[in-house]
């Protein structure tokens, strides 16, 4: 019996240990997009039929584990032909500087910039390094955006109608009036996952852009303007006003976005602050949900509202890939109108190709229409110190729960800012 | 009824209520998982009843098919049996040697194994990937099995050595007088006596290998080589999760571990109570 068991186990080992080799006509792509895997595989079959080139999509999820795999594989020099760098921009830059990523600038500019023009400029900018960038990367475009994303406000049509609101509010005053009307009929106002601090940070950033504009924000980041400036106080006061008017759903400061998504999908709140990816989630949770997308209501009517957005998912090409030309050809094909429309339809993500917009569902169109209003920390010339952002996010939470005033928070944020500035000057 | 009888009934009632509460707290997540597995994505957040109004057993079929569970299940069985078998053999040999034999550097080697326990798995990711690639074992079942054996070895050696240290040497002396060599003593005397400790090692390592995914994802590229946890990941989208099918997948994945536990329950309890895990 023991011998038999030993033989069986040895057989398992021997049978399972044969190493497989990949041929030169097969492009290997490592990705993390679970919800798009099936659609990718369908496109791979189609591409093989058209060109004879085999595409092997390998899925590694969740994204944290994927990131670890990419970093470990880069160090072992076993990266696939195509992959994604999901980390911060500085890690992306270090991959480029280490020679792991192909510079695609020339490819994008070929044929009078045909490929570049077909894609959203904002999406491409996430993968672009400008002249004089702080990461010391040679200027150029290093990634191919597969889809775009942005974060807006969503409104429940049925709940607004119940409160007698016929159109979503466009101004901040209009929004406060809508909240009052909703309160009268016992409907909760705005829900969002502000337990994940970056979301509250994103909301604050939207209003900072609307109130003072990009240049003044960048000047604050450079340390030239204080957070106690009246414009920043106005930004913090927005949270106080919303909180005092009862605009926020209960527990917003500790709510995770997944739970906030449930609340909106199950019609427990009339407004939500969430990204274009939520279209997928709401469809899964409540296919009958009637909702629309809108820009956060403007506070300063003289300046447009800027929202966070850009490339959703991007892929890069391994600089040492022996199949680089074939890989570039495939990515051009993948980001062409027809394939992008297919991906948008199948996966409910915004396409990165502008021409594919005509073929997407109406709710996605509402998100796509405002792509020109998008901005993102990854494309700003300066970024704030993480500790300052953390202080600001915690301060916003304190304002919402009525623990601190906007002025107090502004002073505290400025104190951290000054400490960080001193540290960075000493570091130089 | 006399005082002592009342006292005994009260004591036993409290004890039973306490144990029932603990048991319910342990079983409730499993029940919730099974309940959610029988619902739809639309009802899973809305229907708060204990037993869903409509039972969707088809979720199990979807989980099996969509998650490609057939291949992954077999892979996980191969990985778990191979790794646990190797760990039991290597760890028991090593622990017996550390406990009974005298050789130069014995303590140094033992402490090296113990020190390996201090290294968290993520800390060894990059060296493991580099090593496996250099040995040509990346993306092979053997490479993954060897890494997992390495992961479980230190703890198992420590447990078994503690057990062997406490074991009386009299039986071994008797076997030696009867002409047994070191290997025969290990096989015929030490190993059977260490059964409770081995049961603990088997269950701990089975759980560890069965639920492992991060290292598999790091070392394996071919999805046909992936373990069962890869199938479960398919239901967790970047932003959305198909909860009922995910729960159905999880239910399927816990069944073998429950079977292993039930089969070894007697030995495990004996092992835990007889000090197999005092180390």
Q: Flag if B237 and A19 touch (Cβ within 8 Å).
A: no
Q: Do B148 and B219 contact (CB within 8 A), yes or no?
A: no
Residue A87: which residues within 8 A CB-CB, separation 6 or more?
A: A67, A71
Residues of A in contact with B41 (CB under 8 A): 284-285
pTM across the whole model: 0.77
Q: Cα–Cα distance between A276 and A213 in angstroms, integer?
A: 24
Average confidence score pLDDT of chain A: 90
Helix locations, A278-380, DSSP H: 278-285, 324-334, 337-347, 362-368
Q: Flag if A13 and B133 touch (Cβ within 8 Å).
A: no
Collapsing DSSP states into helix, strand and coil, what is residue B196? helix
For B253, other C-beta atoms within 10 Å of its C-beta total 22
Tens of pLDDT along A353-383?
988 887 788 888 889 888 888 998 888 888 8
Omega within 30 of 0 (cis) for the link into A144:
no
Q: Do A118 and A110 contact (CB within 8 A), yes or no?
A: no
For A41, other C-beta atoms within 10 Å of its C-beta total 14
Per mean pLDDT, which of A85-94, A107-116, A118-127, B59-68 is the most reliable?
A107-116
pLDDT for A365 equals: 86
Q: Do A28 and A320 contact (CB within 8 A), yes or no?
A: no
The mean-pLDDT minimum among A325-334, A405-414, B193-202 falls in B193-202
Give the residue with greater pLDDT, A268 vs B273: A268
Tens of pLDDT along A162-201?
999 999 999 999 999 999 999 999 999 999 999 988 899 9
Which residue is closest to A13 within chain B, CA to CA? B142
Q: Flag if A34 and B136 touch (Cβ within 8 Å).
A: no
Q: Do A410 and A262 contact (CB within 8 A), yes or no?
A: no
Q: Cα–Cα distance between B231 and A241 in angstroms, integer?
A: 47
C-alpha A189, offset from chain centre: 24
Which residue is closest to B140 within chain A, CA to CA? A17
Q: Flag if A63 and B214 touch (Cβ within 8 Å).
A: no
Residues of B in contact with A80 (CB under 8 A): 221
For residues A69-74, give the mean pLDDT.
90
Q: Which residues of chain B have pLDDT under 70?
A: 1, 238-239, 271-279
Task: Looking at the complex, report in whole angstroms how far the Cα of residue A352 sits from the nearest Cα belonging to chain B.
Answer: 18
Q: Flag if A68 and B145 touch (Cβ within 8 Å).
A: no
pLDDT for A188 equals: 94
Residue A32: which residues within 8 A CB-CB, separation 6 or more?
A: A59, A60, A61, A62, A63, A66, A84, A86, B238
Question: Nearest 5 degrees, angle CA A374-CA A377-CA A378?
Answer: 100
Structure token digits, residue B126: 């990059």
**H or E element that contains A299:** none
Q: Does B218 touch chain A (CB under 8 A)?
A: yes
Helix locations, A249-350, DSSP H: 257-265, 278-285, 324-334, 337-347
ipTM: 0.72
> Which neighbouring-strand residues pair with A314?
A145
Residue A72: which residues within 8 A CB-CB, separation 6 or more?
A: B125, B126, B129, B130, B218
Helix locations, A76-144, DSSP H: 89-97, 105-118, 121-125
Give the residue with greater pLDDT, A338 vs B171: A338
The mean-pLDDT minimum among A104-113, A144-153, A299-308, A372-381 falls in A372-381
Please name which of B277, B200, B249 lies closest in space to residue B72, comparing C-alpha atoms: B249
Q: What is the residue whose two structure tokens read 């047994």?
A: B180
DSSP labels, B235-253: TB-SS-B-HHHHHHHHHHH
- How many separate helices (H) and strands (E) can be counted in chain A? 17, 12
C-alpha A140, offset from chain centre: 21
Spell out the domains of chain A, with CATH numbers in brackets. Answer: 25-146+309-377 (3.40.190.10), 150-308+382-427 (3.40.190.10)
Query: Is the domain B38-273 a CATH 1.20.910.10 member?
Result: no
Domain boundaries, chain B: 1-26, 38-273
Q: Do A413 and A395 contact (CB within 8 A), yes or no?
A: yes
What distances in angstroms separate CA A114 from CA A61, A117, A125, A353, one per listed residue? 33, 5, 16, 12
Q: What is the residue whose two structure tokens read 């969707």?
A: B56
pLDDT for A396 equals: 95
Task: Looking at the complex, report in whole angstroms how far the Cα of residue A274 sits from the nearest Cα belonging to chain B.
Answer: 12
**H or E element that contains A314:** strand A307-317
Residues of B in contact with A61 (CB under 8 A): 233-234, 236, 238
Q: Which residues of A make CB contacts under 8 Å with B? A: 9, 12-13, 16-20, 28, 30, 32-35, 37, 58-63, 65-66, 68-69, 71-73, 75-78, 80, 262, 265-266, 277-278, 280-281, 284-287
Q: Do A160 and A292 contact (CB within 8 A), yes or no?
A: no
C-alpha A353, offset from chain centre: 17
For A205, other C-beta atoms within 10 Å of its C-beta total 24
Q: Do B145 and B86 contact (CB within 8 A), yes or no?
A: yes
Residue A44: which residues within 8 A CB-CB, separation 6 or more?
A: A54, A55, A56, A57
Q: Cα–Cα distance between B217 and B125 in angstroms, integer?
A: 11
pLDDT for B279 equals: 42
Tens of pLDDT along A146-164?
999 999 999 999 999 999 9
pLDDT of A1 higher than 50:
no
Q: Flag if A285 and B45 touch (Cβ within 8 Å).
A: yes
Interface mutation target, options B120, B222, B239, chain A, most CBs of A under 10 Å: B239
């Amino acid at each position: 019996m023991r011998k038999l068991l030993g033989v069986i186990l040895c057989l398992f080992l021997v049978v399972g240990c044969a190493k497989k080799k990949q041929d030169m006509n097969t492009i290997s792509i490592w990705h993390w997009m679970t919800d798009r895997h099936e659609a990718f595989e369908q496109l791979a079959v189609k591409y093989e039929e058209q060109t004879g080139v085999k595409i092997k999509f390998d899925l590694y999820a969740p994204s944290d584990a994927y990131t670890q795999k990419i970093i470990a594989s880069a160090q072992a020099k076993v990266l696939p032909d195509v992959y994604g760098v999901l980390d911060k921009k500085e890690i992306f830059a270090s991959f480029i500087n280490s020679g792991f990523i192909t510079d695609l600038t020339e490819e994008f500019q070929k044929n009078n910039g045909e490929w570049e023009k077909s894609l959203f400029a904002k999406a491409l900018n996430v993968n672009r390094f400008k002249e004089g960038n702080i990461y010391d990367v040679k200027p150029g475009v290093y990634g191919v955006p597969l889809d775009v994303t942005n974060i807006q406000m969503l409104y429940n049509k049925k709940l607004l109608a119940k409160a007698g609101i016929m159109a979503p509010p466009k101004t901040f005053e209009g929004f406060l009036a809508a909240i009052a009307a909703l309160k009268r009929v016992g409907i909760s106002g705005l829900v969002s996952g502000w337990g994940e601090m970056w979301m509250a940070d994103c909301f604050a950033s939207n209003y900072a852009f609307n109130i003072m504009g990009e240049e003044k924000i960048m000047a604050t980041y450079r340390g030239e303007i204080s957070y106690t400036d009246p414009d920043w106080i106005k930004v913090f006061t927005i949270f106080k006003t919303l909180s005092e008017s009862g605009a926020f759903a209960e527990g917003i400061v500790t709510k995770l976005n997944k739970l906030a998504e449930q609340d909106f999908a199950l019609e427990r709140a009339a407004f939500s602050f969430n990204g274009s990816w939520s279209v997928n989630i709401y469809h899964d949770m409540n296919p009958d949900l009637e909702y629309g997308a809108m820009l956060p209501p403007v506070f300063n009517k003289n300046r447009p509202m800027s929202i966070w957005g850009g490339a959703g998912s991007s892929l890069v090409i391994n600089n040492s890939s022996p199949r680089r030309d074939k890989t570039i050809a495939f990515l051009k094909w993948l980001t062409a109108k027809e394939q992008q429309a297919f991906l948008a339809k199948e996966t409910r993500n915004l396409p990165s190709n502008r021409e594919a917009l005509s073929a997407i569902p109406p709710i996605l169109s509402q998100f796509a229409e405002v792509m020109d209003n998008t901005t993102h920390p990854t494309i700003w010339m300066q970024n704030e110190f993480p500790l300052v952002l953390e202080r600001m996010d915690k301060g916003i939470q304190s304002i919402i729960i009525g623990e601190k005033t906007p002025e107090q928070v502004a002073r505290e944020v400025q104190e951290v800012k000054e400490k960080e500035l001193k540290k960075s000057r000493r570091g130089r | 009824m006399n005082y002592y009888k009342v006292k005994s009934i009260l004591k036993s009632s409290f004890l039973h209520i306490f144990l029932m509460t603990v048991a319910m707290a342990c079983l409730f997540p499993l029940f919730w998982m099974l309940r959610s597995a029988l619902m739809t994505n639309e009802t899973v957040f809305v229907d708060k009843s204990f037993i869903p109004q409509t039972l969707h057993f088809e979720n199990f079929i979807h989980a099996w098919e969509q998650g490609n569970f057939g291949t992954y299940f077999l892979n996980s069985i191969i990985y778990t049996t191979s790794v646990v078998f190797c760990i039991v053999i290597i760890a028991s040999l090593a622990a017996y040697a550390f406990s009974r034999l005298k050789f130069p550097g014995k303590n140094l080697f033992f402490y090296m194994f113990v020190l390996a326990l201090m290294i968290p798995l993520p800390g060894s990711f990059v060296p493991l990937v580099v090593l496996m690639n250099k040995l040509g074992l990346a993306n092979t079942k053997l490479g993954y099995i060897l890494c997992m054996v390495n992961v479980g070895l230190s703890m198992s050696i420590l447990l078994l050595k503690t057990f062997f240290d406490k074991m009386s040497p009299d039986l071994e002396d008797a076997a030696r007088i009867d002409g047994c060599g070191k290997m025969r003593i290990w096989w015929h005397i030490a190993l059977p006596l260490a059964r409770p400790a081995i049961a603990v090692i088997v269950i701990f390592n089975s759980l560890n290998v069965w639920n492992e995914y991060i290292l598999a994802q790091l070392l394996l590229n071919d999805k046909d080589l992936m373990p069962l946890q890869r199938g479960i990941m398919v239901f967790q989208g970047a932003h959305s999760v198909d909860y009922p099918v995910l729960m159905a997948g999880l239910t399927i994945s816990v069944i073998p571990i429950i079977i292993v536990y039930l089969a070894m329950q007697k030995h495990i309890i004996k092992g835990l109570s007889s000090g197999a895990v005092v180390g």
